Amino acid sequence: MLIVEDHSGIRKLLRMALEFRDFDVIGACDGDEARAMAEMHRPDIVLLDNMTFSTLKLLETIERLERIA
């Protein structure tokens, strides 16, 4: 699972909660890092904080992540 969240504390809390439930979790702080992590790790699930992005950047990031999948 890839978590994309710009606030490190929230990202860490989500990661700890999900790892406690036996998910393999990686994190990214923005769209560029998310795309790089997705290419390297090929996550089955992406949890994306839409407040991290402007609308256009959000759509662009989603489209690029879909192409990676």
Q: What is the pTM of this model?
A: 0.86
Tell me whether residue 61 is exposed, middle or buried, using C-beta atoms within 10 angstroms of its C-beta: 0 to 12, 13 to 18, 19 or more: buried
Reported as a single tens digit per residue, the pLDDT across 3-61 is: 999 999 999 999 999 999 999 999 999 989 999 999 999 999 999 988 878 777 888 88
